[in-house]
A and B are shown apart, each in its own frame.
Chain A
Amino acid sequence: MDKTVNQKAWFLVLPVFAIVAFSAILPLMTVVNYSVQDTFGNNQFFWNGVGWFKELLDPSSDLGERFFASLARNLAFSAIILAIEVPLGIVVALAMPRHGWTVALCLVIMALPLLIPWNVVGTIWQIFGRPDIGLLGYSLNGLGIDYNYVSNAFDAWATVVVMDVWHWTSLVALLCYAGLKSIPDAYYQAAQIDGASRWAVFTAIQLPKMHRVLLIAVLLRFMDSFMIYTEPFVVTGGGPGNSTTFVSIELVKIALGQFDLGKAAALSIVYNLIIIIVCWVFYTVMTHAGADRDNNPGSA
């Protein structure tokens, strides 16, 4: 590549930069300031150096133990919902109609869960799962399954995972559907002439064509599940015990519950760093995968 890059158009972004400075950059700087100090409120701060970071990264301290435990829970949660939502979304997208009035109907129904605010989703499932008045909880217990998300850690996890799958699988499905719609009919006709099996059509035509939207879906779902707060907070409150306390719930507990701004700031910075790294990797893979295909179309 020998074409020089002209970045002068970035100056047009200055107005947005001013807004972002007030809404994000100044608060972020403040978080950095807090992370090296301790406070008892009233804007009185005491220098603590990297003390909070030391505690945070030491699994034998209280803060470190809570951080690593909630991080492990959060990664497990993200892995589980991705393992369910991505294949399920693909299957749903493949099963959706391509022509006729049912397309619109399907799209509207699929979009409904996406339009419901997080706290409402949490409240719906909190009541839905209750053993005394909830349809799900009452029915499960009626079937002889001892289900109670308030006292049983496994039930709490199952509820939070199923809730997330219910809420967000349609996003994956809609993205995949958009990817499928962009495949020209000629590909399918060629496959038919070759006598390709349904599975061969899926692996050789549909999956490669969905590659990029799937990457976006995985990125969106990973980020959203990695910063999940409202839904598990409303349903389980992070319990029973700490079993569904994810990183953001732990963060709010430390920052607003205990008012340990220094510890919370250190945790936020490390949390943010993880997210930036993951985003960069996904973004690079995404743009790079596209560039690869543009350069040698034969391989795609």
Chain B
Amino acid sequence: MDNIAWMAWTAPTAIFFVLLAATLAVMTWLAVAYPEAERVGILRIPTTRGDRLFLSLISAAVIHLAWIGFFGSDPLATLPIGADGLELSSLWLATALSLLFAVAIFRNV
């Protein structure tokens, strides 16, 4: 592990990238198993599932950054997990919002 110490992995970022890789793997499998046709949505441009995933990820990044910029990441509640409890950041609301937005993108764009 010493030779990748410079990469400074942490559990949260590792989980983030594993989820991202899993999403891409599922999308790749979907594209092979269920080939799709482009369709034109509310942006009036033809999009594929991949385009819609890209838009969802980019919007998720923007939503999280905007949330940090406007509302910060103050603790919302404390879950009764562990000795001191697990603080739940208000940033999870941004995550929820991003998921809703992603659903909207996949349905309408």
Residues of B within 8 A of A270 (CB): 65
B69 pairs with A7, CB closer than 8 A: no
Scan residues 12-46 of chain A and give those whose CB is less than 8 A from a CB of chain B.
26, 29-30, 32-34, 36-37, 39, 43, 45
At the interface, yes or no: A83 with Cβ under 8 Å from chain B? no
B68 pairs with A53, CB closer than 8 A: yes
A182 to B44, CA, bound (A): 29
A273 interface neighbour in B8, B17, B40, B61, Cβ under 8 Å: B61
B68 pairs with A50, CB closer than 8 A: yes
B37 pairs with A2, CB closer than 8 A: yes
**A5-B35, A29-B17 known; A273+B65 contact, CB < 8 A:** yes
**A3-B37, A5-B35, A273-B58 known; A36+B45 contact, CB < 8 A:** no
A43 pairs with B37, CB closer than 8 A: no
B62 pairs with A273, CB closer than 8 A: yes
Residues of A within 8 A of B68 (CB): 50, 53-54, 57
A39 to B5, CA, bound (A): 12
A157 to B72, CA, bound (A): 36
**A1-B37, A273-B62 known; A36+B46 contact, CB < 8 A:** no
Residues of A within 8 A of B48 (CB): 5
Scan residues 240-295 of chain A and give those whose CB is less than 8 A from a CB of chain B.
270, 273, 276-277, 280, 284, 288, 291
Scan residues 53-82 of chain B and give those whose CB is less than 8 A from a CB of chain A.
54, 58, 61-62, 65, 68-69, 72-73
B62 pairs with A33, CB closer than 8 A: no
Determine how close the nearest CB of chain A comes to the CB of B12; give it in whole angstroms: 7
Q: A36-B10, A280-B54, A284-B45 are in contact. List 15 more A-B contacts (CB 8 A).
A: A3-B37, A5-B35, A5-B36, A8-B32, A29-B13, A29-B17, A30-B8, A32-B16, A33-B9, A36-B12, A37-B10, A50-B73, A54-B68, A54-B73, A277-B58
Residue pairs across A and B with Cβ atoms less than 8 A apart, 26 shown, are A1-B38, A1-B39, A1-B40, A4-B36, A5-B36, A5-B38, A6-B35, A7-B31, A8-B32, A26-B7, A29-B7, A29-B13, A29-B17, A32-B17, A33-B9, A36-B13, A45-B8, A45-B10, A49-B73, A49-B89, A53-B65, A54-B73, A57-B65, A277-B62, A280-B58, A284-B45
